[in-house]
């Protein structure tokens, strides 16, 4: 403890010197507004709940404005609650705001010392990983694997119907993970899992859940309070768990998947990466992290977004009826299910998808970015090293941009047939989706998500309707849309038990 307080005193002294230098250099600039009640050294840490912190940030946005400075121990967080500001800072100024803040698990263990396309600094190695990811996730790569996406949509629809029929109701969590995971597995490794009980499925989901959990900001208190980092580790042993998971669980699993993929005869991206390794483009650890990132980013964000959508729609049978009618009209005319290239025939389905993503976002907070040098924004100084965090929860509930944002109104998007890719790249005056990130850090898999959503939705609504589970008296027991589980990086509905019931008027 004596050592900790000595380090604290040294930090305060050095921090005061640094602030004086900054103030002398930028006398004409002002600090971003900050909520009151911050404690010395600890800042606002004790005011922010460990679960769902975006709700507290949203409260502060209403009090202090759309741009606020939150003191997270020694770190300065710039939290953004307005889309134009997010666009200005993260896209227009992307050259100096695309860094990643240090996080013990993500920066050191998950990335095996700064490897991979997601959680690393925007350097040459990151660009090389990003280019490789685009090979899989770009329009050409997705189009080449369209048959995989369509077949997995058909498979998951059948499993949801059978699971509901056999058990009365099902927790949809693992079902929603299985479909997008199989798309990634077949693309990257040339294999798939057969059910939610498949040992390979369970092993991979364990690594996904661990990454989502360990990647949460609250799992790295040592970065916020470095003077106490050794004390945290002494009592919590967090780093020991991270190390065990990475080197004893995650790495061996992905090394085996890569080796099996390289040896078998099925074309897959692991073979491409292996060839690049032989050409000295990548090392073995690069490939492990790359494949892990593909599986993580390609599975849970999609799964949680689908979970929210189907839980929401279980409350709105009239909305489901309109979707089913739209799908049936196409089937009647063409005697088959539609392909993604024919999505313009489904304006209502698309509008419902977008409203579900706005109404209950799978990400309350975007993945943090970092300022790599001092810069000025509208008279405010944002210092080098500041963590920049768009508050997706606040953006999706903006009363400035949305009429009655607290209400579920699919028709608000009825005239917007833009794809997710078009939406996130549109001018800020019309952009209406925020879960895919900003600027140089925008999710490269946005087109894959769009294609997966469309195919899963048309397959499900062509064959079924979604209902809540039944209680002991046979009455609907609806999932509470105001209760959720903070998974770390993502926010999921609580107890998502539903019934997928075969449509009696099904046309296929």
- Give domain 25-502's CATH architecture: Orthogonal Bundle (1.10)
Structure tokens at 99: 């860094």
The annotation status of 484 as a binding-site residue, yes or no, is: no
Contact status, residue 423 vs residue 413, Cβ threshold 8 Å: no
In the three-class reduction of DSSP (H, G, I as helix; E, B as strand; rest coil), residue 346 is classed as: coil
* pLDDT tens per residue across span 228-263: 888 887 777 788 899 999 999 999 999 999 999 999
The residue ranges of every structural domain in the chain are 25-502
Contact status, residue 112 vs residue 285, Cβ threshold 8 Å: yes
| CA 14, 17, 23, 24 torsion-angle sign | negative
Beta bridge partners of 501: 465
| Cα end-to-end span (Å), the chain | 69
Of the candidate ranges 8-12, 68-72, 79-83, 136-140, the one whose mean pLDDT is the lowest:
8-12
The conformation of residue 342, written as its DSSP 8-state character, comes to G
CB-count burial class (<10 Å; 0-12, 13-18, 19+) for 284: middle
Strands in 180-274 per DSSP E: none
CA atoms within 13 A on the CB side of 202: 5
Q: What residues have CB less than 8 Å from 74, skipping those under 6 apart?
A: 11, 15, 41, 224, 225, 226
Q: Which helix (H) or strand (E) holds 502?
A: strand 497-502
In the three-class reduction of DSSP (H, G, I as helix; E, B as strand; rest coil), residue 58 is classed as: helix
* pLDDT tens per residue across span 355-386: 999 999 999 999 999 999 999 999 999 999 99
Contact status, residue 445 vs residue 140, Cβ threshold 8 Å: no
Contact status, residue 501 vs residue 164, Cβ threshold 8 Å: yes
pTM as predicted: 0.92
CA distance 319 to 313: 7
Whole-number average pLDDT of the chain: 91
Q: Tokens 């693309």, residue?
A: 187
**Mean local confidence (pLDDT), 459-477:** 96
* pLDDT tens per residue across span 14-52: 343 344 334 435 557 899 999 999 999 999 999 999 889
Contact status, residue 127 vs residue 103, Cβ threshold 8 Å: no
CA distance 495 to 478: 10
Q: What residues have CB less than 8 Å from 413, skipping those under 6 apart?
A: 350, 351, 354, 355, 432
CA atoms within 13 A on the CB side of 168: 8
Beta bridge partners of 375: 382
Is it the case that residue 13 has pLDDT exceeding 80? no
Q: pLDDT tier at 5 (50, 70, 90 boundaries)?
A: very low
> For 356-414, what is the HEC assignment?
HHHHCCCCCCCCCEECCCCEEECCEEECCCCEEEECHHHHHCCCCCCCCCCCCCHHHHC
The conformation of residue 90, written as its DSSP 8-state character, comes to I
Is it the case that residue 1 has pLDDT exceeding 50? no
Say what the pLDDT of residue 26 is.
Answer: 53
* pLDDT tens per residue across span 261-302: 999 989 999 998 888 887 777 899 999 999 999 999 999 999
Composition of the chain by helix, strand, coil, percent to 5: 55, 10, 35
């Amino acid at each position: 403890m004596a050592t900790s307080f000595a380090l604290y005193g040294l930090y305060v002294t050095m921090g005061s010197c640094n602030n004086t230098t900054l103030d002398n250099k930028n006398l004409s600039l002002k600090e971003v507004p900050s909520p009151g009640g911050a404690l010395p050294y600890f800042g606002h840490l004790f005011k922010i709940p460990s679960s769902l912190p975006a709700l507290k940030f949203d409260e502060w946005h209403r009090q202090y404005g759309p741009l606020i400075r939150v003191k997270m121990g020694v770190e300065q967080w710039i939290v953004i609650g307005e889309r134009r500001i997010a666009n200005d800072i993260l896209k227009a100024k992307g050259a100096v705001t695309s860094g990643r803040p240090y996080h013990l698990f993500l920066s050191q263990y998950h990335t095996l010392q700064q490897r991979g396309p997601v959680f690393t600094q925007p350097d040459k190695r990151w660009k090389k990983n990003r280019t490789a990811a685009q090979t899989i996730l770009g329009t050409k790569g997705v189009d080449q694997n369209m048959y995989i996406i369509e077949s997995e949509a058909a498979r998951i629809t059948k499993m949801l119907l059978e699971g509901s029929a056999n058990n009365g109701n099902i927790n949809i969590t693992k079902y929603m993970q299985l479909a997008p995971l199989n798309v990634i597995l077949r693309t990257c490794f040339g294999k798939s899992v057969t059910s939610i009980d498949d040992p390979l499925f369970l092993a991979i989901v364990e690594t996904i859940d661990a990454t989502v959990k360990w990647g949460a900001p609250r799992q790295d208190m040592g970065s916020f309070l470095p003077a106490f980092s050794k004390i945290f580790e002494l009592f919590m042993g967090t780093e020991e768990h991270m190390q065990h998971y990475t080197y004893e669980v995650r790495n061996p699993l992905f090394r085996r998947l890569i080796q099996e993929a390289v040896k078998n005869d099925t074309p897959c991206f692991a073979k491409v990466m292996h060839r690049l390794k032989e050409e000295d483009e990548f090392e073995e650890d690069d490939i492990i992290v790359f494949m892990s990132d593909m599986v993580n980013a390609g599975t849970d964000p999609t799964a949680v977004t689908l979970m929210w959508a189907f839980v929401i729609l279980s409350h709105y049978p009239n909305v489901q009826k309109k979707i089913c009618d739209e799908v049936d009209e196409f089937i009647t005319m063409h005697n088959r299910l539609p392909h993604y290239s024919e999505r313009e025939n489904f304006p209502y389905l698309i509008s419902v998808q977008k409203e579900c993503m706005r109404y209950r976002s799978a990400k309350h907070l975007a993945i943090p970015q970092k300022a790599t040098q001092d810069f000025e924004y509208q008279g405010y100084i944002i210092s080098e090293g500041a963590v920049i965090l768009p508050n997706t929860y606040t953006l999706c509930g903006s009363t400035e941009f949305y009429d009655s944002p607290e209400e579920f109104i699919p028709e608000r998007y009825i005239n917007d047939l833009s794809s997710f890719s078009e939406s996130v790249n549109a001018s800020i005056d019309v952009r209406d989706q925020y879960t895919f990130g900003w600027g140089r850090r925008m999710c490269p898999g946005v087109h894959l998500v769009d294609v997966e959503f469309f195919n899963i939705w048309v397959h499900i609504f062509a064959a079924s309707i979604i209902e809540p589970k039944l209680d002991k008296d046979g009455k609907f027991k609806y999932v509470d849309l105001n209760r959720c589980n903070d998974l770390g990086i993502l926010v999921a509905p609580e107890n998502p038990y539903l019934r997928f019931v075969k449509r009696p008027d099904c046309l296929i």
